[in-house]
Amino acid sequence: MTPISPPEPFTVTTLEGAAAGHDPGLQPDELIHAYRTLLTVRAFDEVCMKLQRSGRIGFSIPNRGIEAVSVGAASALDKSDWIFPSYRDFGMALYHGVRPLEMMHNMFGNGADAAKGRQMSVHFSFVEPLHFVSISSPIGTHLPQAVGAARAFQMRGEDRVCLASFGDGGTSSLGFHSALNFAGVWRAPVIFLCQNNGWAISCPSAKQTASESYAVKAQAYGIEGVLVEGNDLLAVREATRQAVERARSGGGATLIEARTYRMGGHSTSDDPKRYVPAAELEAWECKDPVRWFERYLAGVELWDEGLRERLEAEVMAEVDGAAKEAEQTPAPGLETIFSDVYRDLPTHLRRQGQESFEMAQRLGDPAAGDGAFPL
């Protein structure tokens, strides 16, 4: 059998930064905001790596190399839209106004964490300033959820779309099939964003699928499929913008495959040197998405080395300060084990809560107060 040659991905700018005739639809301040978000993701990654290696947090997920996918896609969404993210989507939250401090609270699982310490690190969820649905560790489970939400918006006549982001490994999940099947049947206003970063932990894409691309899988479900250069931020934005427009106008779902590369481990628990070919990594380093976008900004006279140095210092100071504040924030109160489940606490949980506070008081836990369960 003759091997199938993979198709060329859609691009907007060249690796040198040229974008002849393309208007990204962003004002200069919005372009700089996108650039600052890229730098913030890198700073957040760097600080979290140091925190994990020093034993101050348990876990983190590196984003280096795929930042343009998240930021480019987020720039095409409204804050009224819903995002069903994977755990490598820091940039989407940061682009739409989530502060590093709010994310750091989750990394430490402290009392200010939106999940009150019940989630793993990197499993963010936010209601404001955008709809960022809780990240889930099981692969692909959020894809049918995104279709369900999109179907609900469709039935209510609401002008919203859902974007579900996932890695190439997620395409092998049952949730992927179920989600794309129903999205096609219902013509649901949902965008599936596959971050094909080359590896599903240590499993390469070549062992993940025999298809010429992940985008081509859309044809079997009766939806649009697009292959895009994931390190070209403006190409990801344009592909997502067109998908959003299609979804809002009743044209149905789109599967976007953003071809990129994870220039680091799957997580802080992973050693990529055991399976990533050095030559392959070196080749992708030349396509670093941050440097790629810098060259575009320089071409439109919005960037120089001074801007990079100033913004890198700003975002590093903000992220470092967020880590220090989150680390000093007290842990969740004992009563939060029982809260946010029932509107009216059942008798058996109230009894268990009282027993827990009485035991904590006996053991000298100051958070237990006089031993009275507060809920």
Q: Active-site residues: which are they?
A: 262, 266, 275
Token duo for residue 10: 């859609």
Q: Is 16 helix (H, G, I), strand (E, B) or coil?
A: coil
In angstroms, the CA 277 to CA 294 distance is 27
Half-sphere exposure for 143 (CA within 13 Å, toward CB): 28
SS3 content of the chain, % helix, strand, coil (to 5): 45, 10, 45
Write down the residue that tokens 């013509």 correspond to. 187
Instruction: Output the CA torsion sign for 244, 215, 219, 235.
Output: positive
In angstroms, the CA 375 to CA 368 distance is 12
Phi and psi at residue 135, to the nearest 5°? -70, 145
Q: What secondary structure does DSSP assign to 157-205, as a single string?
A: T----EEEEEEGGGGGSHHHHHHHHHHHHHT-SEEEEEEE-SEETTEEG
